[in-house]
Amino acid sequence: MTDKIWLWADVGGKSGQEAKLAEVKRVITAGLDRGVMPTWGGRLKPEQIKLLTVYVHDSLGGGR
Protein backbone atom coordinates (compact mmCIF):
# COMPACT_ATOMS: atom_id res chain seq x y z
CA MET A 1 0.00 0.00 0.00
CA THR A 2 2.97 2.31 0.05
CA ASP A 3 4.30 2.12 -3.50
CA LYS A 4 3.11 1.98 -7.11
CA ILE A 5 2.78 -1.82 -7.03
CA TRP A 6 -0.42 -1.62 -5.02
CA LEU A 7 -3.39 -1.42 -7.35
CA TRP A 8 -6.32 -0.59 -5.09
CA ALA A 9 -5.07 1.51 -2.19
CA ASP A 10 -3.12 4.69 -2.82
CA VAL A 11 -1.36 5.25 0.49
CA GLY A 12 1.87 6.37 -1.17
CA GLY A 13 -0.01 8.95 -3.22
CA LYS A 14 -1.38 10.71 -0.15
CA SER A 15 0.33 13.84 1.11
CA GLY A 16 1.21 13.93 4.80
CA GLN A 17 1.13 11.34 7.57
CA GLU A 18 -2.48 12.03 8.59
CA ALA A 19 -3.74 11.45 5.04
CA LYS A 20 -1.72 8.24 4.77
CA LEU A 21 -3.05 6.96 8.10
CA ALA A 22 -6.58 7.86 7.01
CA GLU A 23 -6.16 5.84 3.81
CA VAL A 24 -4.90 2.78 5.71
CA LYS A 25 -7.82 3.13 8.14
CA ARG A 26 -10.27 3.42 5.24
CA VAL A 27 -8.98 0.21 3.69
CA ILE A 28 -9.13 -1.68 6.99
CA THR A 29 -12.60 -0.38 7.85
CA ALA A 30 -14.29 -0.58 4.45
CA GLY A 31 -12.22 -3.30 2.81
CA LEU A 32 -11.50 -3.33 -0.89
CA ASP A 33 -13.84 -4.29 -3.65
CA ARG A 34 -12.90 -6.98 -6.14
CA GLY A 35 -12.77 -9.48 -3.28
CA VAL A 36 -9.20 -8.69 -2.30
CA MET A 37 -9.82 -7.65 1.31
CA PRO A 38 -12.91 -8.03 3.50
CA THR A 39 -14.55 -5.25 5.49
CA TRP A 40 -13.36 -5.14 9.10
CA GLY A 41 -15.42 -2.14 10.26
CA GLY A 42 -18.22 -4.29 11.67
CA ARG A 43 -15.92 -6.90 13.17
CA LEU A 44 -13.39 -4.78 15.04
CA LYS A 45 -13.90 -2.10 17.66
CA PRO A 46 -12.77 1.45 16.75
CA GLU A 47 -9.82 1.09 19.15
CA GLN A 48 -8.73 -2.11 17.43
CA ILE A 49 -8.95 -0.47 14.01
CA LYS A 50 -6.82 2.42 15.27
CA LEU A 51 -4.14 0.05 16.61
CA LEU A 52 -4.18 -2.00 13.43
CA THR A 53 -3.96 1.15 11.30
CA VAL A 54 -0.85 2.35 13.12
CA TYR A 55 0.71 -1.13 13.00
CA VAL A 56 0.14 -1.55 9.26
CA HIS A 57 1.27 2.00 8.46
CA ASP A 58 4.46 1.68 10.51
CA SER A 59 5.31 -1.84 9.35
CA LEU A 60 5.10 -0.69 5.72
CA GLY A 61 7.61 2.05 6.39
CA GLY A 62 5.12 4.90 6.76
CA GLY A 63 6.39 5.83 10.18
CA ARG A 64 9.93 6.45 8.99
What does the alpha-carbon distance between residue 55 and residue 35 come to, in Å, rounded to a whole number? 23
Specify the 3-state DSSP secondary structure of 30.
Answer: helix
Rg of the chain, C-alpha, whole Å: 11
How large is the average pLDDT for residues 30-57? 87
Query: Which residue range forms the structural domain that includes residue 8?
Result: 1-64
* Mean pLDDT score, 25-33: 86
- Report pLDDT for 17: 83
- The residue among 2 and 18 whose pLDDT is bigger is 18
Whole-angstrom distance, CA of residue 34 vs CA of residue 17:
27
- The arithmetic mean of pLDDT across residues 29-39, rounded, is 80
Count of structural domains within the chain: 1
